[in-house]
Homo-oligomer: A and B are copies of this chain.
Amino acid sequence: MKKDLDNLMKANNLDALLFTGPAQHNSPMYYMTGGGHMTGGDLVKKRGEEPILFYRPMERDAAADTGLKTKNLAEYDYKKLLEAADGDHLRAMALRYQKMLGDVGLTEGRIGLYGKMDAGDAWGVFSALQELMPGLTLVGEGPNSVLLEARATKGEAEVERIRQMGQVTVGVVGAVADYLTSCKVDASETLLRGDGQPLTIGDVKSKINLWLAEAGVENPEGVIFAIGRDAGVPHNSGEATDVLRLGRTIVFDIFPCEAGGGYFYDFTRTWCLGYAPDDVQALYDDVYAVYHQIISELEVDAHAPDLQKRTCELFEAQGHRTIRQDGKLQSGYVHSLGHGLGVDIHERPRFGHGATEADRLAPGTVTTIEPGLYYPERGMGCRLENTFWVSPDGEIELLAQYPLDLVLEMGE
């Protein structure tokens, strides 16, 4: 949680954190500012002190709304800095950082860097800044940063927002199920729209986007609604022109976030409309069994990679190949069991490679559990995903209820 930052900074020998970029759709700045219409800016947090937000003058109202200590970026005369930098913008930005950091008393120590930036801009600005301020050590912490460690655990207020997103998500999923099962079907088992034309994935996705917008949330990463062979490729998002037919596997993975780029939810179901062919039912039964076995074994402080290992064991016992046997596997169980979730769709804990001792289902963590099997060459895939919170007293809470059923019975 945010209140852990000072201790984490101490443990990781960081004297300050520097955040940059817009407040929306930029998780580090969103987390520190609470969002708001700020198209750019910087935030400096020294260890043991309140953060200071450097805002653009036209965005002074949004900056004031954050309730943070603020400073106006217009106090740094960019025109003069650009002249001093011979017209080199990245050097001018470095000169401005030098002044800003000096103004808050940061001329030495280790300072971590966070926030969305252009790769070339980051390289140019921070190389120049490191040269200008040799007493300072700029640090790229990577995926084990103090920020991501603090964010891994959520308080009740944060979880309540994720729960709300869960309610929106299952509401939209239910609307999609109702819509699909109410469609007429022609002799070739193709679903038809109201106008008699075949219903396509593009049509369904339009409705999903509309219903998400009606609920006041955003869908910045799109939605996966993939049929048949496409359902057998985990990140294939589905072909817009494909038509919906009875008896084919549909993987429906939806991961919207609050308006402005806040908290996410993540949810997947695998459906067959009308009926399921035997081989699809068998695939589903295997995933369902593993899902339930893993859920029954979830415990507070479980090490996420152990859960991934256990999932591989279970799938292998069913006769499937798994990613721990072959890192390049494309058929069988080919991904990680889950991932933490918050103001980014992928947060800690990590279940796969690169997980550390800290990647646990600690109290406060929110994580997806999403076992799946993929056989693109057989035209099928199956994934079941729910999102869970580990409460402060170690209970595992499913954040939004929705049936796991494979077959959606068509209406009359």
Check if A335 is an interface residue, CB within 8 A of chain B: yes
Q: Which of A48-73 contact B (CB under 8 A)?
A: 56-62
Chain B residue nearest in CB terms to A82:
B354
Inter-chain contacts of A210 with B (CB < 8 A): 210, 213-214
Question: Number of A interface residues, CB 8 Å?
Answer: 76
Chain B residue nearest in CB terms to A129:
B123
Chain B residue nearest in CB terms to A128:
B140
Are A28 and B62 closer than 8 Å at their CB atoms? no
A-B contact pairs, 21 of them (CB 8 A): A25-B220, A37-B237, A58-B233, A62-B236, A62-B237, A74-B327, A79-B353, A82-B354, A89-B142, A90-B142, A112-B120, A115-B118, A116-B117, A117-B118, A119-B126, A120-B140, A121-B142, A124-B142, A209-B213, A209-B216, A213-B213
A58-B233, A113-B123 provided; 11 other pairs, C-beta below 8 A?
A20-B119, A37-B237, A39-B221, A59-B235, A59-B236, A89-B354, A121-B142, A122-B122, A210-B210, A210-B213, A218-B220
A interface, CB within 8 angstroms of B:
18, 20-21, 24-25, 28, 37, 39, 56-62, 74, 77-79, 82, 87-90, 112-127, 138-145, 206, 209-210, 212-214, 216, 218, 220-222, 224, 230, 233-237, 259-260, 327-328, 330, 334-335, 353-354, 356
